[in-house]
Structures are given as structure tokens and as C-alpha cells.
């Protein structure tokens, strides 16, 4: 609980607005996690308030055989009316009750501590470590109140000072009070006297204060849940208010009464749900679900602080800074998840259910009404961009000296070979090394390789002679040769590995599920070759004046930037960086892309331009933008049939449909196209 308290104290001083947990998580992680957290926090306090009002019924039975649920519902109606009348009235009631309860608890602790019997603490862990974890999860709802002040932060004077003091002060106080109260209860009660007791404080008080103490503690035990429920209605009603302001809940919840200056609809709706829970949900289930929801909320809270700290947002300037970052937050996250798993199937199902409900509500209601994003997305985007930039700088600095292998097939024609040799020559000039133009021919298994290799055919002589002429005309020094094999793809990969070339370059042809190089699936080369790859969709290439470098969602692959820069240097061309984003792209996303383009441009040795395309049809927009260039460079990765069907294959579509020559690059240390990578490209970049 303490890590979440520290995190909320910091975030509340940076954003002193109504909404608390919801507001922090929404601004940190975006509207979808914000919706989940808002519903989660709201339900936490609803269940806690209902639990408190039902729980006090056990102590009321000490005075008279009163019907528990009708009394709880009646008290709920009174608290609902008090909250509608205004925060000042609610605050006065709360301050009075809390003061009386604390004074009584201090007296209970002070008097009871001198009567404890140490024998009652043996065995200390009656049900082992698992019992401690299960119990901790069960009672976790009791700690939910220490951070509630953050949900009404905009109604607090001097929030930079008072919110951290109230959160941390109440945290320390409640830890001490709860621990010492339980210490006294266990220490003074007879062995076995607490196992089935619904009123343990009254049982303990009767041991050293007699009947008057038993009655006095019962009165306090009735007031305390009333206080808990009152605070719950007060703070929980602010979550629909805050979500309404962000268009994630109906506008009615955001309306403020001119007479009472309170969110009437939000309070009424919240109070009504509390009354329904009291009437129909068992008390133990209320406590378990409330604790599970609170644990999940605190996990989100710790993640939100990490997102804000890592985002570097200028406006995030808290007056209070939580200590121990990020280890405190990581501990809080791990501890919360651990307790959640120890509470049984009902709380775990409730936690999963609230996440699912939040996703559904956002998809059906909130998504079409909001366009903002969270600080975490911006942090992920900028961190990934910087990682890509470091890769670009490293690749430019290291260069290379192994040269380029141009893998050719028997059916290559002069025009297409000219294009391949020209591109290979420019890359080799910039990276170092020589160009090796090798024609690979596959023969049946029954033909021995020694006999096939020994035969120097007329076709071989023609290939060597014409390639030498092309190389001389292009000014590219080329080693020419032929290799005969039973398996072309293995022959290409093995030759590249043996000669130590930096790049395998070959002509790419579209196929049903991607593309081919020398009649073999390009995915095989991506997964098995030990060198960088450049697949060329060769078209007429008279001159190169403009080169488009295209991003498939995320940052540019370092190899595609290097290749584009090498070709531009040798041709005197301009490099244009192109990235497509959705129509609803946020200002933060556009600013991050612009900054990234500027940083990449500084690495290049040629004039550059950049363009960000806002569109709902990425391929069409990129094809239109690339229509005015002579060469398109994009990165590619191994295909995944299911994910490619869902998300599409932009590089393949560009190579198939662009009018210009297209280069598909794949670096030796590729970005694997995992499901997470697809999601990042879809929702982050």
C-alpha cells in the first residue's frame, strides 16, 4: 500500500484535480487504461462503502436485534443526502467521526496493551505464510482510504503541501493503529475466542474493560464504518465526474449543482449503486471484491508514476517527489499482483471482469469521443526512437568492409541486372569492400556438382562478358562468377558466410504470402542468412534525384537509413523520410515524429526532407507520396500469416504497387515482428 500512497501523493501535487486515481492513470497511460482504472477505483469504493455499512450490523446486534440490511440501507440514504448537500458538511461529519474513533482506539490500545498475554501469540503464524498473504489480501480494502484525498484534490487548499502530508500522515497513522489494535485484540482474548467472533473488538474489550468497555467499543465500531462509507461515497462520486469531463462517461455526471456546488447526478448514481450492493451482495464477497479492485488500482497507480517519470513531459512538475524511484513502485506492483493471486477465484475473476468491462465500455462509448494519449505512450515512442537513432549512429560509424553479394538467377536480363549492380556499387562504395556478382544455378539432385561446376557453358561466358561490360559502364569494380548447387538458397547463404560480405542483394518478386529471391521464399533468407539483406523490386532506374525512406509504423531500421544515405551520396539525391499516422494522431505523437526525423537527418550526409501523412489508408497515402521519387527504401521482416492478415504488410504492398524501384532491407540484428511489435506499431507509433 505504501508505494501507491507515495506515488499518488506525487501525482496529486502535479495534477490537483478531481478524479484521483483515474486522472493519474488516464494521463499517464491513455484513455483506455484510464477507463479501466476509473471503473476499477469507482467499484472499489462502492464495494467498500457497502461493506462498511453492512459490517456495522454485527455490532448493532449488541444493542438490539435490529435487521442489519434495512439499517445499513437507511444509513446509506442519510450519507447520500449529506454528500449532496456539499463537501463542507460532509467534511465536518467526517472530521467529527474520525476524531472520536481515533481517541477511542488510542484509549483501547493504551489500556489493553498492559493486559496482553504473550501466550496468545503462539503459534504466531497459525496458518503459515499462505494464511498471512490470504488475510492481507482480504483486509486490504481497509487501507483504501488513506489515498482518497487525491480524488478531491481540486477542493483542497495548498495541494502541494496538504496532499502529501495527509496521504503520508494517514498512512503512517493507520499502519500504527491497525497493528496495535490487532496486537491488543489477540493478546487479551482467550484462546479460541476469536475464531467465530463477528465482533472481535467487543470480545477483547470485555476482557479488560468489562461490560461498559464492551458497549463503548461497540459504539465506536458502529461509527467507524459510517465514516468509511461516508468517505467512500464522497470520493467515489468524483470518478464519474472526472470521466465525464474527459468524455469517457455521459455528460450528466459532470454537471455541478449551482445550489450545493456538488456533482448531483454522480453522487446520486453512486449512492444508489451502494444501496443495491447492500441489499443483494453478501458481506464477505463485498470485502473480497473491494480488496481485489483496490489491489488492481494500486498496481496501475505505480505504473502511472513510472510512465510520468520516464515521459519527460514539461508540464509534469510535482511539488512533492516520491523517494526510492523506481524500486518502490516496482515492489508495489509485484506485491499487489502477488496478493491478488492469493485471494481465491472470486476476487481474481472480479479483477479480470473489471478490466474486460473497462475495455468494452471504452470501445463502445469512449473511443469515438476522445483523441488524447497517455504519457506512457509518449515515453515508449521516444525511448524506441532514441534506441533506433543509436542503431543508426552505430551502423554509420562502423561502416563495413565485406562488400556486397549480388545474387543473380539464370533468367536475369540486362536492364534489371544494371539496376542491381548500380545499387550494389553505391552501397559498396560507402560501406567498403567489393561487389561480387554471382549467378546461382540449381541442378537436379541426380547431377553431380563436380561435373556441373566443371562445365563452363556458353551461357556462363555470355554472363561474365555482359556483366563486365555493365560494370565498366557503371564504374563499379565487380568480381563475376557462377555457382551450381542442388539448393540455391543454401548456396547463397553459405557463399555469403564464407566470403564475409556485409550485404546480400538480389531481385525480389512478389509471391502469394510475401516475396521470393531466386525462386525461394524471402522469409528463409531473413531467418537463416548471417548477413544484412537488400531485396530489390527492380524497375527502370535512369537517374536518382529523390529517395523515399518509408516507415512501417515504428522507427526506421538503421540499415534502410544507411542504404538510402549511400545511394543519395553517390547520386547527389535528396532523402525524404515518410511516416504515415492515423487521422486522430495526437500533438505529442506528431511532435515526437518531427523530433525523430530531425535527429535522423543530422546523421545523414545528404539533404533531407520529412513528411508525416495523416491518413486512414496507410498504403494508399505512402504510394501517393512516393509517386514523385525515383527510389523507395523500406524495411521488412519475416512474415506471420495470421498477424499479416490482421495488420497488413505495408512493405510488400509498396514493393508490388509502387512505380519506382523499391528496396526492402533487413538488418542482421532485425526487429522481430512479434505480436507486441505489431501492437506497438498499431497503437503507439
Per-residue confidence (pLDDT) for residue 331, from 0 to 100: 94
Please identify which residue in the block is written with the cell numbers 461490560: 211
Per-residue confidence (pLDDT) for residue 135, from 0 to 100: 84
Report pTM.
Answer: 0.61
Phi, psi of 64 (to 5 degrees): -160, 155
Q: Are 47 and 277 in contact (CB under 8 A)?
A: yes
Per-residue confidence (pLDDT) for residue 535, from 0 to 100: 92
DSSP secondary structure letters along 63-77 = TS---HHHHHHHHHH
Per-residue confidence (pLDDT) for residue 114, from 0 to 100: 93
Q: Using 50, 70 and 90 to split pLDDT, how confident is the model at 110?
A: very high
Asked if residue 593 has pLDDT above 70, the reply is yes
Q: What is the 3-state secondary structure (H, E, C) of 138-207?
A: HCHHHHHHHHHHHHEHHHCCCHHHHHHHHHHHHHHHHHHHHHHHHHHHHHHCCCCCCCCCCCHHHHHHHH
- The rounded distance, in Å, linking the Cα atoms of 79 and 82 is 5
Q: What is the pLDDT of residues 614-660, one digit of tens each?
A: 888 888 888 888 888 999 999 887 766 555 544 457 888 888 888 88
Per-residue confidence (pLDDT) for residue 233, from 0 to 100: 76
Q: Are 326 and 306 in contact (CB under 8 A)?
A: yes
- Choice between 449 and 592, residue whose per-residue pLDDT is larger: 592
Across the chain, what does the average pLDDT equal?
82
Q: What is the pLDDT of residues 281-297, one digit of tens each?
A: 887 788 888 888 889 98
Q: Could you tell me the three cell numbers for 637?
A: 521482416
Cross-strand bridge partners of residue 511 = 514
Q: Using 50, 70 and 90 to split pLDDT, how confident is the model at 573?
A: very high
Q: What is the 3-state secondary structure (H, E, C) of 194-206?
A: CCCCCCHHHHHHH
Task: Identify the burial level of 167 via C-beta atoms within 10 angstroms of its C-beta, where 0-12 means exposed, 13-18 middle and 19 or more buried.
Answer: buried
Q: What is the 3-state secondary structure (H, E, C) of 631-654?
A: EEEEECCCCCHHHHHHHCCHHHHH
Q: Are 253 and 259 in contact (CB under 8 A)?
A: no
- The rounded distance, in Å, linking the Cα atoms of 342 and 454 is 73
Q: Using 50, 70 and 90 to split pLDDT, how confident is the model at 684?
A: very low
Asked if residue 442 has pLDDT above 60, the reply is yes
Q: Are 300 and 25 in contact (CB under 8 A)?
A: yes
Please identify which residue in the block is written with the cell numbers 550526409: 605
Q: Are 23 and 39 in contact (CB under 8 A)?
A: no
- Choice between 517 and 671, residue whose per-residue pLDDT is larger: 517
Q: Using 50, 70 and 90 to split pLDDT, how confident is the model at 671?
A: very low
- Choice between 89 and 391, residue whose per-residue pLDDT is larger: 391
**Residue 466 has what DSSP assignment?**
H
Task: Give me the percent of the chain exceeding a pLDDT of 70.
Answer: 87
Nearest Cα to Cα of residue 11 among 216, 149, 191: 149
- The rounded distance, in Å, linking the Cα atoms of 644 and 381 is 22
- The rounded distance, in Å, linking the Cα atoms of 282 and 68 is 12
Range of lowest pLDDT (132-136, 143-147, 375-379, 591-595): 375-379
Asked if residue 449 has pLDDT above 80, the reply is no
399: left (phi over 0), alpha (psi -120 to 50) or beta: left
**Torsion angle in degrees (nearest 10) through CA of 26, 32, 36, 39:** 70
Q: What is the pLDDT of residues 256-284, one digit of tens each?
A: 877 777 788 888 888 888 888 888 888 77
- The rounded distance, in Å, linking the Cα atoms of 86 and 90 is 6
Asked if residue 472 has pLDDT above 80, the reply is yes
Q: What is the pLDDT of residues 196-250, one digit of tens each?
A: 777 888 889 999 888 888 888 888 888 887 777 777 777 777 778 878 888 888 8
Crossing angle of helices 87-113/159-188, nearest 10°?
40
> Would you mind telling me the total number of residues written for the chain in this entry?
685
Q: Are 12 and 159 in contact (CB under 8 A)?
A: yes
Task: Identify the burial level of 360 via C-beta atoms within 10 angstroms of its C-beta, where 0-12 means exposed, 13-18 middle and 19 or more buried.
Answer: exposed
Q: Could you tell me the three cell numbers for 397?
A: 560509424
Please identify which residue in the block is written with the cell numbers 494521463: 27
- Choice between 58 and 88, residue whose per-residue pLDDT is larger: 58
Nearest Cα to Cα of residue 72 among 89, 96, 52: 52
> Which CA distances in Å does 260 have to 81, 238, 274, 513?
11, 15, 22, 65
Q: What is the 3-state secondary structure (H, E, C) of 501-561?
A: CCEEEEEEEEECCEEEECCEEHHHHHHHCCCEEEEEECCCCCCCCEEEEEECCCCCCHHHH
Phi, psi of 195 (to 5 degrees): -60, -40
Q: Using 50, 70 and 90 to split pLDDT, how confident is the model at 548?
A: very high
Average pLDDT on 173-181 reads: 91
> Which CA distances in Å does 427 have to 9, 332, 503?
55, 51, 9
Nearest Cα to Cα of residue 436 among 533, 503, 531, 535: 503
Nearest Cα to Cα of residue 155 among 253, 18, 268: 18
- The rounded distance, in Å, linking the Cα atoms of 360 and 248 is 12
Average pLDDT on 413-428 reads: 86
Q: Are 594 and 612 in contact (CB under 8 A)?
A: yes
- Choice between 388 and 568, residue whose per-residue pLDDT is larger: 568
Asked if residue 38 has pLDDT above 90, the reply is no
Q: Could you tell me the three cell numbers for 481?
A: 562468377
- Choice between 95 and 357, residue whose per-residue pLDDT is larger: 357
Range of lowest pLDDT (99-103, 170-174, 584-588): 584-588
Q: Using 50, 70 and 90 to split pLDDT, how confident is the model at 504?
A: very high
Asked if residue 518 has pLDDT above 80, the reply is yes
- The rounded distance, in Å, linking the Cα atoms of 13 and 282 is 38
Per-residue confidence (pLDDT) for residue 3, from 0 to 100: 92
Most confident among 238-242, 377-381, 414-418, 530-534 (mean pLDDT)? 530-534
Map out the domains of the chain with their CATH numbers. 2-372 (1.20.1740.10), 374-402+539-685 (3.40.50.620)
Please identify which residue in the block is written with the cell numbers 479501466: 36
Task: Note if the bond before 15 is cis, omega within 30 degrees.
Answer: no
Per-residue confidence (pLDDT) for residue 333, from 0 to 100: 93
Q: Could you tell me the three cell numbers for 443?
A: 541442378
- Residue 91: CB atoms within 10 A of its CB come to 15
Amino acid at each position: 500500500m505504501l508505494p501507491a500512497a507515495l506515488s499518488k501523493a506525487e501525482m496529486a501535487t502535479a495534477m490537483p484535480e478531481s478524479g484521483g486515481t483515474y486522472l493519474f492513470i488516464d494521463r499517464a497511460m491513455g484513455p483506455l487504461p484510464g477507463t479501466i482504472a476509473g471503473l476499477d477505483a469507482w467499484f472499489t469504493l462502492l464495494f467498500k462503502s457497502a461493506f462498511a455499512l453492512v459490517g456495522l450490523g454485527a455490532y448493532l446486534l449488541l444493542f438490539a436485534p435490529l435487521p442489519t440490511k434495512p439499517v445499513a440501507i437507511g444509513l446509506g440514504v442519510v450519507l447520500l443526502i449529506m454528500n449532496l448537500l456539499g463537501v463542507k458538511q460532509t467534511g465536518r461529519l467526517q472530521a467529527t467521526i474520525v476524531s472520536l474513533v481515533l481517541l477511542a482506539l488510542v484509549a483501547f490500545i493504551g489500556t489493553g496493551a498492559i493486559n496482553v498475554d504473550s501466550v496468545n501469540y503462539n503459534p504466531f503464524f497459525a496458518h503459515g505464510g499462505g494464511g498471512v498473504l490470504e488475510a492481507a489480501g482480504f483486509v486490504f480494502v481497509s487501507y483504501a482510504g488513506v489515498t482518497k484525498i487525491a480524488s478531491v484534490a481540486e477542493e483542497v487548499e495548498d495541494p502541494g503541501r496538504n496532499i502529501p502530508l495527509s496521504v503520508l500522515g494517514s498512512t503512517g497513522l493507520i499502519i500504527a493503529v491497525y497493528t496495535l489494535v490487532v496486537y491488543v485484540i489477540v493478546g487479551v482474548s482467550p484462546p479460541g475466542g476469536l475464531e467465530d467472533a463477528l465482533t472481535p473488538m467487543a470480545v477483547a474489550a470485555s476482557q479488560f474493560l468489562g461490560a461498559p468497555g464492551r458497549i463503548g467499543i461497540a459504539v465506536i465500531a458502529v461509527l467507524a464504518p459510517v465514516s468509511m462509507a461516508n468517505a467512500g461515497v464522497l470520493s467515489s462520486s468524483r470518478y464519474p465526474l472526472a470521466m465525464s469531463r474527459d468524455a469517457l462517461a455521459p455528460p450528466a455526471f459532470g454537471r455541478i449543482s449551482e445550489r450545493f456546488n456538488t456533482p448531483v447526478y454522480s453522487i446520486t448514481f453512486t449512492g444508489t449503486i451502494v444501496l443495491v450492493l447492500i441489499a443483494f451482495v453478501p458481506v464477505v464477497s463485498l470485502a473480497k471484491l473491494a480488496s481485489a479492485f483496490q489491489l488492481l488500482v494500486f498496481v496501475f497507480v505505480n505504473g502511472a508514476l513510472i510512465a510520468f517519470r520516464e515521459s519527460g513531459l514539461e508540464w509534469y512538475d510535482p511539488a512533492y517527489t516520491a523517494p526510492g524511484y523506481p524500486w518502490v513502485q516496482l515492489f508495489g506492483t509485484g506485491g499487489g499482483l502477488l496478493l491478488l493471486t492469493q485471494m481465491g477465484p472470486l476476487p481474481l475473476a472480479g479483477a479480470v471482469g473489471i478490466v474486460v468491462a473497462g475495455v468494452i465500455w471504452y470501445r463502445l462509448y469512449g473511443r469515438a469521443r476522445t483523441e488524447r494519449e497517455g504519457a506512457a505512450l509518449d515515453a515508449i515512442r521516444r525511448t524506441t526512437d532514441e534506441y533506433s537513432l543509436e542503431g543508426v549512429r552505430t551502423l554509420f560509424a562502423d561502416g563495413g568492409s565485406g562488400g556486397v553479394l549480388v545474387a543473380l538467377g539464370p533468367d536475369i536480363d540486362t536492364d534489371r541486372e544494371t539496376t542491381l549492380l548500380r545499387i550494389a556499387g553505391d552501397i559498396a562504395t560507402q560501406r567498403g569492400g567489393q561487389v561480387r556478382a554471382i549467378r546461382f544455378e540449381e541442378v537436379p539432385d541426380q547431377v553431380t556438382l563436380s561435373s556441373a561446376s566443371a562445365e563452363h557453358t556458353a551461357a556462363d561466358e555470355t554472363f561474365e562478358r555482359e556483366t563486365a561490360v555493365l560494370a565498366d559502364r557503371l564504374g563499379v569494380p565487380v568480381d563475376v562468377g557462377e555457382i551450381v548447387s542442388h539448393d540455391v538458397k543454401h548456396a547463397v547463404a553459405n557463399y555469403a558466410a564464407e566470403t564475409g560480405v556485409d550485404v546480400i542483394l538480389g531481385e525480389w518478386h512478389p509471391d502469394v504470402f510475401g516475396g521470393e529471391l531466386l525462386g525461394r521464399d524471402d522469409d528463409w533468407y531473413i531467418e537463416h542468412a548471417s548477413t544484412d539483406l537488400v531485396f530489390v523490386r527492380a524497375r527502370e532506374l535512369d537517374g536518382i534525384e529523390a529517395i523515399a525512406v518509408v516507415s512501417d509504423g515504428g522507427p526506421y531500421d538503421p540499415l534502410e537509413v544507411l542504404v538510402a544515405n549511400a545511394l543519395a551520396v553517390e547520386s547527389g539525391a535528396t532523402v525524404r523520410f515518410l511516416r504515415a499516422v492515423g487521422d486522430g494522431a495526437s500533438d505529442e505523437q506528431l511532435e515526437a515524429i518531427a523530433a525523430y526525423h530531425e535527429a535522423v537527418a543530422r546523421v545523414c550526409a545528404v539533404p533531407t526532407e520529412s513528411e508525416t501523412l495523416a491518413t486512414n489508408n496507410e498504403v494508399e497515402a505512402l504510394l501517393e507520396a512516393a509517386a514523385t521519387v525515383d527510389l523507395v527504401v523500406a524495411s521488412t521482416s519475416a512474415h506471420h500469416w495470421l498477424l499479416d492478415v490482421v495488420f497488413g504488410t505495408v512493405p510488400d504492398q509498396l514493393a508490388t504497387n509502387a512505380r519506382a524501384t523499391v528496396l526492402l532491407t533487413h538488418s542482421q540484428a532485425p526487429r522481430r515482428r512479434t505480436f507486441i511489435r505489431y501492437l506497438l506499431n498499431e497503437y503507439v507509433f
